[in-house]
Amino acid sequence: MEYRISDLCLRDGITWDWFPENWSFGNGVTVHKTLASLEFRTVVHGTDLTLDEYLATFGVIKLADMELRRKHERTEGWEKYEARWLPGTCPQENHVVHLTWLVTTHQLPEFAYNRIRDLIEGAAEPKELERYSSEPGKHFSVSRRYDGRPAYGGERR
């Protein structure tokens, strides 16, 4: 078996460790999306207290003398997610990770891997679109219901 990971993923801090232990890659071409959101809370500057907690502790305070700031709450879930990335590469903001991968049962020739990589990462234009679609910009065949018969003649065995 041969496994490859894109140089672009490696550059962005996504290595094989990014995928959790029981991750399933499926078969064929798969597009995956992961959403990550940081949790914040507003605290009184110089403390870890929210405004309500601060008022409960210190009573009346002149708001003109107070500063508030947003503090990133480093939850256990965020820490686990961040640990999947190479150190220092996990975006410290709400973000979406889109990954596309290909699983085949047979090794493809090198030019095929390079072309697929160009299409996915380099936004290369598909060639000879008219061979695949009568509508420009549509690269998928028409969905058809499978009736159990071979697609190109012959008897069902």
How do residues 56-95 score in pLDDT, each as one tens digit? 888 888 888 788 888 888 889 899 999 999 999 999 888 8
Long-range contacts of 102-109 (CB under 8 A, 24+ apart): 102/28, 102/29, 102/30, 103/25, 103/26, 103/27, 103/28, 103/30, 104/28, 107/2
Across 38-61, average pLDDT: 85
Q: Tokens for 108?
A: 């493809």
Give the highest mean pLDDT range of 11-15, 105-109, 145-149: 11-15
CA distance 79 to 39: 12
pTM of the model: 0.59
Q: Residues 74, 48: contact at Cβ < 8 Å?
A: no
The H or E element containing residue 36 is strand 28-36
Q: How confident is the model at residue 157 (pLDDT cuts 50, 70, 90)?
A: very low
Q: What pLDDT score does 84 carry?
A: 92
More confidently predicted of 150 and 103: 103
The H or E element containing residue 146 is none
Q: What pLDDT score does 82 carry?
A: 92
Q: Tokens for 110?
A: 């090198």
Four-CA torsion 80, 81, 82, 84, nearest 10 degrees: 90
Q: What pLDDT score does 124 carry?
A: 67
Q: How confident is the model at residue 156 (pLDDT cuts 50, 70, 90)?
A: very low
Q: What pLDDT score does 44 carry?
A: 86
Residue 146 has pLDDT above 70, yes or no: no
- Tens-place pLDDT, residues 105-142: 888 888 888 888 887 787 667 666 555 555 655 555 55
